[in-house]
């Protein structure tokens, strides 16, 4: 079982994930994720460094062929920039492993937790891009950032910075600033759901990228994303679609079975 633990707190971990960990004989995962779990003394723990996804995947598959009930755990959703792709990549290398009964338990991923705290920035079309160029050339990251701007997607950036590549986030923001409006809302959501959670609301023009670390999820708005100003409290951030309809007359309206919208209202 490849299991998503969610962003951190137990209230965001699905019952399926909890049950999967409880029924495992062996738990394989990155140290800090595994440490969150209250494992029993009869469960074997295989904690490892963050950068050895393929080694972890192969260990898990080897244990499974030995008849162990293995839970490979990831923070967030294992299917989103996490262990599930690595496990299937490993499976492809050895026909023997294709016989293993593998299932994935999805989880709440970082961008969803960040969005929930901020308001509803991902409420309409969005994309998720990892800035890590461990495995992909930086040119592909740049191509995707450009395409995300062309499509006016809301953008969620995963793995925005690390000690090994501190300049990538600056390069990404330079690219975005050349295309998108300086007033575009930007949010840094750090360690959401954990004790040291911090939310930073800013704009593309004013964002201080030196505040971003590997525990930060960065959200960059589309042209329809905006803050709702509020006295004495954090400004909610949301993406609004109805403003688009209002710019276009004579639009077909599904709600009214063939009637037409004018200025965003059904006639």
Q: Which is nearer to a copy of itself, 44 or 51 (CB)?
A: 51
Query: What residues numbered 157-196 form the site for a copy of itself, per CB under 8 A?
Result: 162, 164-165
Rounded to 5 degrees, φ, ψ at 153 are -80, 150
| Binding of a copy of itself by 134 (CB under 8 A) | yes
For the chain, the C-alpha Rg in angstroms (whole number) is 21
The sign of the dihedral angle between the CA atoms of 10, 215, 180, 228 is positive
Q: Is residue 59 at the binding interface for a copy of itself, with CB under 8 A as the rule?
A: no
Site membership for a copy of itself, residue 122 (CB under 8 A): yes
Binding range to a copy of itself, per CB under 8 A, among 34-42, 97-105, 172-180, 200-208: 97-105
Indicate which single residue of 64, 71, 72, 104 sits in contact with a copy of itself (rule: CB under 8 A): 104
Residues 6+ positions from 20 with CB-CB distance below 8 Å: 1, 3, 71, 105
- Residues 25-44 close enough to bind a copy of itself by CB under 8 A: none
- Please say which residue, 35 or 89, places its beta carbon nearer to a copy of itself: 89
Segment 205 to 234, residues that bind a copy of itself, using CB under 8 A: 228, 230
Least distance (Å) from a copy of itself to the CB of residue 225?
10
Beta-strand runs (E) in 94-172: 104-105, 119-120, 126-130, 154-158
Q: Rounded to an integer, what distance in angstroms lies between the CA atom of residue 213 and that of residue 190?
A: 8
């Amino acid at each position: 079982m490849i299991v998503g633990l969610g962003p951190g707190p137990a209230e965001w971990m699905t019952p399926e994930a909890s049950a999967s960990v409880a029924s495992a004989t062996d738990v394989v995962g990155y140290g800090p994720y595994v440490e969150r779990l209250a494992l029993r003394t009869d469960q074997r723990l295989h904690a490892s460094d963050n950068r050895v996804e393929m080694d972890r995947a192969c260990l898990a598959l080897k244990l499974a062929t030995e008849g162990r009930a293995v839970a490979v755990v990831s923070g967030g959703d294992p299917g989103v920039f996490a262990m599930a792709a690595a496990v299937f990549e490993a499976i492809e290398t050895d026909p023997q492993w294709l016989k293993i009964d593998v299932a994935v338990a999805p989880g709440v991923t970082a961008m969803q937790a960040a969005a929930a705290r901020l308001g509803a920035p991902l409420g309409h079309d969005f994309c998720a891009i990892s800035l890590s160029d461990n495995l992909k050339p930086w040119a592909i990251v740049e191509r995707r950032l450009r395409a995300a701007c062309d499509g006016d997607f809301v953008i969620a950036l995963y793995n925005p910075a690390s000690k090994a590549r501190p300049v990538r986030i600056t390069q990404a923001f330079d690219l975005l600033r050349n295309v998108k409006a300086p007033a575009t809302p930007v949010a840094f959501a750090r360690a959401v759901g954990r004790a040291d959670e911090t939310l930073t609301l800013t704009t593309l023009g004013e964002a201080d990228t030196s505040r971003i670390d590997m525990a930060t999820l960065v959200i960059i708005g589309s042209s329809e994303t905006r803050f709702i100003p509020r006295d004495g409290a954090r400004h909610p951030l949301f993406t609004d679609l109805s403003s688009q309809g209002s710019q276009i007359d004579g639009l077909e309206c599904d709600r009214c079975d063939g009637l037409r919208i004018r200025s965003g209202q059904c006639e």
